[in-house]
C-alpha cells in the first residue's frame, strides 16, 4: 500500500475524531481544541477544512513552520539511509550536530553535548549532572552540596526530577515526594539568590525568560549576577533554554553574553522533530557525568540529529535571527497599541501579553474561531511563539483581528457570568 493511501484512509470529521479521542486517549490534556490534519508554513488546517494562522508553533517548536521543504527532505533522506542505531554506535549527523551546537554556544575547549528527546529529559540529565557536583565528600560518603536552587515560577518539565525543579504547586503536589533538595527562591531577586547560595548548593537552574509563567524575562543583570554568585560558591549555573534557545528570541540563545556551566535545549532544536540536548561548558562540568552514569535509547539518533542540523542550517543561511528580531519588535509594538492590552513582554518571537481583564482563555477560543492559534498561560495572559519564519504581514493580520477577538472574549465572559 502506498503511504498516501494509508494516510488517506484516516478520514473523518473533527467531531468523529474528538469522540474517538475521548474514548482512547488519556485525559491529561483535556479536550483538544481542534483536530489538525495538515500544515504549510505558518498555516494549519483542521479536519473540517478550516484554516488557521499558527501563532503558537506547537509551543515554540515549529521554528521553520509546517512541512518545511528542506527539513522534510533532510528527514526523509536520513530515514531512508539510516534511521536508528542505539548509542552503542554513533553517526556523522550526531557528531556534526554536537560540534555545531558547541560552536553556536561559544563553548570553550572541553565542552560536551548529551542528546535526549525532549526538554524534560534534557533537564533530567542536567539534574543528574548537578547531583554529581558533590563538593567535598565526608569519610562516611556524605556529600557537601545537597541543595539545588530554582526560581519561583520556574517550569522545567514533567518528569520527576524536572518536576522537582518546577515551581507550580498544582503540577508538583499530586506526585510528592519528589527528588529532594530543591528550593525555590523569589523570581528575579538577586539578593535572595545571594542569600541562598553557599557551598552546600550544587546548582542553580534558571530560564532566561520564563515561558510557561507568561513570558517573564529575568531582570537585566540577573543572569550575570547569578553567574558571579554561583562561581564564587562553586555551584553550577544551569540555564534552561528549552523554550528560549535556537533563535526564538532573535539570538541563538537568550543567555548570550553569560557563559553557564550547562544549558538545556529542546523545543525548537529539531524544527518539530523531537530532540533535546544538554550542553556542558568546559572540562569541569563536562566530566561530572562519567561512563555509565546516564543514557538513552533514542537520544541523538541519526534522524533527530539530521533534523536539527537542517533546522540550524536554515536559520543560519536565511538570516532568520534578524527577521525574528524585526518581526518580533514590530509585533510587540503593534500589540501594545491595541486597546485592552495592558502589558507586552518578551524578546524576538517569544511574546507574552496581559489583557486588562481575566478573559485570556475566552480570547484563545475567540481567536480560534477567527482563524488564529494562540495560547493562554494564565487568566489574563496570552502567549505567542509562532514559527520563526512568520512574516510582518502575517503578524499584522493577527493584530488587526485582535480588537474583534478581545470583544468576543469579553462578551463571552459576560454571558458566562450571567448564566
Ligand atoms: C517546554 C519546557 C520544558 C519541557 O520540555 P518537554 O519537551 O515538554 O519535556 C522544560 N523547560 C522549559 C523552559 C520549557 O519551556
- Strands of 221-307, DSSP E: 236-240, 262-265, 276-280
Q: What is the rounded CA–CA span in Å between residue 126 and residue 203?
A: 9
Name the nearest CA neighbour of 315 among 102, 58, 104.
Answer: 104
Q: Model-level pTM?
A: 0.97
Task: Tell me if residue 354 is catalytic.
Answer: no
- Say if ligand 1 is within 6 A of residue 118 CB: yes
Distance of CA 185 to the CA centre of its chain: 22
**Do 272 and 59 touch, CB atoms closer than 8 A?**
no
Q: What is the rounded CA–CA span in Å between residue 380 and residue 376?
A: 8
Q: Which residue of 156, 209, 246, 262 sits with most ligand 1 atoms within 8 Å of its CB, as the best mutation to test the pocket?
A: 156
- Strands of 112-265, DSSP E: 112-116, 147-151, 182-185, 201-206, 209-210, 216-217, 236-240, 262-265
pLDDT value of residue 9: 83
Report, as an integer, the average pLDDT of 315-335: 98
pLDDT digits (tens, 9 = 90+) for 53-98: 999 999 999 999 999 999 999 999 999 999 999 999 999 999 999 9
pLDDT digits (tens, 9 = 90+) for 222-257: 999 999 999 999 999 999 999 999 999 999 999 999
Q: What is the rounded CA–CA span in Å between residue 366 and residue 396?
A: 17
What per-residue string of b and e applies to 87-104 under the rule 16 or more CB within 10 Å gives b? eeeebebbeebbebbbeb
pLDDT value of residue 417: 46
What does DSSP assign to residue 138? -
Query: For residue 419, is pLDDT > 80?
Result: no
Phi, psi of 298 (to 5 degrees): -85, -30
Report, as an integer, the average pLDDT of 290-299: 97
Tell me the pairing of strands 36-40 and 43-46. antiparallel
Q: What angle do CA 276, 308, 153 make, to 5 degrees?
A: 35
- Say if ligand 1 is within 6 A of residue 119 CB: yes
Q: Which residue of 155, 210, 255 sits with most ligand 1 atoms within 8 Å of its CB, as the best mutation to test the pocket?
A: 155
pLDDT value of residue 6: 85
User: What is the position in ligand 1's atom list of the atom closest to the CA of 240?
Assistant: 13
What percent of the chain clears pLDDT 70, i.e. is strictly above it? 98
3-state secondary structure of 2: coil
What does DSSP assign to residue 405? H
Amino acid at each position: 500500500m502506498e503511504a498516501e493511501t494509508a494516510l488517506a484512509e484516516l478520514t473523518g470529521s473533527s467531531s468523529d475524531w474528538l469522540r474517538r479521542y475521548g474514548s482512547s486517549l488519556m485525559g491529561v490534556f483535556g479536550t483538544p481544541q481542534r483536530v489538525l490534519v495538515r500544515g504549510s508554513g505558518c498555516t494549519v488546517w483542521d479536519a473540517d477544512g478550516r484554516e488557521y494562522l499558527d501563532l503558537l508553533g506547537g509551543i515554540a517548536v515549529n521554528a521553520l513552520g509546517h512541512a518545511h521543504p528542506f527539513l522534510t527532505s533532510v528527514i526523509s533522506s536520513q530515514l531512508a539511509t539510516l534511521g536508528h542505531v542505539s548509542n552503542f554506535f554513533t553517526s556523522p549527523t550526531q557528531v556534526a550536530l554536537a560540534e555545531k551546537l558547541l560552536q553556536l554556544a561559544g563553548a570553550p575547549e572541553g565542552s560536551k553535548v548529551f542528546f535526549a528527546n525532549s526538554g524534560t529529559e534534557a533537564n533530567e540529565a542536567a539534574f543528574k549532572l548537578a547531583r554529581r557536583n558533590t563538593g567535598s565528600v565526608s569519610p562516611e560518603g556524605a556529600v557537601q552540596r545537597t541543595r539545588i536552587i530554582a526560581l519561583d515560577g520556574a517550569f522545567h518539565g514533567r518528569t520527576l526530577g524536572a518536576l522537582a525543579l518546577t515551581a507550580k504547586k498544582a503540577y508538583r503536589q499530586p506526585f510528592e515526594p519528589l527528588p529532594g533538595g530543591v528550593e525555590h527562591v523569589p523570581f528575579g531577586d538577586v539578593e535572595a539568590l545571594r542569600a541562598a547560595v553557599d557551598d552546600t548548593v550544587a546548582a542553580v537552574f534558571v530560564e532566561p525568560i520564563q515561558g510557561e509563567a507568561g513570558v517573564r524575562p529575568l531582570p537585566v543583570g540577573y543572569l550575570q549576577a547569578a553567574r558571579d554568585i554561583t562561581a564564587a560558591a562553586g555551584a553550577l549555573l544551569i540555564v534552561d533554554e528549552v523554550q528560549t534557545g535556537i533563535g526564538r528570541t532573535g539570538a541563538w540563545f537568550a543567555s548570550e553574553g553569560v557563559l553557564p556551566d550547562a544549558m538545556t535545549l529542546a523545543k525548537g532544536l529539531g524544527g518539530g522533530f523531537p530532540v533535546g540536548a544538554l550542553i556542558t561548558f568546559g572540562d569541569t562540568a563536562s566530566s561530572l557525568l562519567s561512563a555509565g552514569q546516564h543514557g538513552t535509547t533514542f537520544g541523538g539518533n541519526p534522524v533527530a540529529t539530521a533534523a536539527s542540523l537542517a533546522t540550524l542550517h536554515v536559520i543560519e543561511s536565511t538570516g532568520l535571527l534578524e527577521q525574528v528580531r524585526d518581526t518580533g519588535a514590530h509585533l510587540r509594538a503593534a500589540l501594545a497599541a491595541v486597546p485592552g492590552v495592558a502589558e507586552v513582554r518578551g524578546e524576538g518571537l517569544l511574546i507574552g501579553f496581559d489583557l486588562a481583564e481575566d478573559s485570556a482563555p475566552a480570547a484563545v477560543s475567540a481567536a480560534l474561531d477567527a482563524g488564529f492559534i494562540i495560547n493562554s498561560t494564565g487568566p489574563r495572559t496570552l502567549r505567542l511563539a509562532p514559527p520563526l519564519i512568520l512574516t510582518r504581514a502575517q503578524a499584522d493580520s493577527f493584530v488587526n483581528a485582535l480588537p474583534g477577538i478581545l470583544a468576543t472574549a469579553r462578551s463571552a465572559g459576560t454571558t458566562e457570568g450571567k448564566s
